Amino acid sequence: MKYLVYDLKQLKRGERVQVTLSGNAANVCLMDSSNYSNYKSGRSYRYVGGLIKRSPVVLGVPNSGHWYVTVDMKGLRGTTNASVKVLPSALPTYQETPLSSVPSLVQGRNETPFGIVEDDEREFDV
């Protein structure tokens, strides 16, 4: 069986892989190393992906490990080529910091440039 294979090496859970096809629709499978071994041997295997008719497609990595992408034309007519790239990880979810945690906003304490906290001895004209 002819197919394209891309060794993505070690990826972490939550990373994303973008597959761009040029040509016809194709079967695109993102698999860990043990499932890729089963795929090559013609045994049953698990994957993320499937028949891709629109390109590009972004697939999420379900868990950390060694990953592969295969592109094949099993059951399809025509030819295709593909490019694969690992996308940058998404940024963490934004969480607002309470203002009371900002040292310069807490009255009665001053933080020096060296991180030393001193009592506030300012005088106020009332």
Each residue's pLDDT tens digit, 1-29:
689 999 999 999 989 999 999 988 999 99
Between 118 and 54, residue with greater pLDDT: 54
Q: Evaluate the CA torsion angle 91, 94, 98, 99 in order and state its sign.
A: positive
72 pLDDT tier (thresholds 50, 70, 90): very high
> Which tokens is 59 given?
């697939």
Q: Is 6 exposed, middle or buried (0-12, 13-18, 19+ CB in 10 A)?
A: middle
Overall average pLDDT of the 34-63 stretch: 95
One-letter amino acid for residue 115 of the chain: G
pLDDT tens for 74-109 read: 989 989 999 999 998 767 778 787 777 766 655 555
Average pLDDT over residues 35-44: 95
Mean pLDDT of 108-113: 56
Q: How is residue 31 written in tokens?
A: 């698999």
Q: Over the chain, what is the mean pLDDT? A: 85
For residue 49, pLDDT over 80 is answered with yes
pTM above 0.85, yes or no: no
Residue 115 pLDDT level (bands cut at 50, 70, 90): low
SS (H, E, C) 69-119: EEEECCCCCCCEEEEEEEECCCCCCCCCCCHHHCHHHCCCEEECCCCCEEE
Specify whether the CB–CB gap between 93 and 46 falls below 8 A: no
Query: For the domain bounded by 3-87, which CATH number is listed?
Result: 2.60.120.380
Residues 73, 21: Cα–Cα separation, whole Å: 12
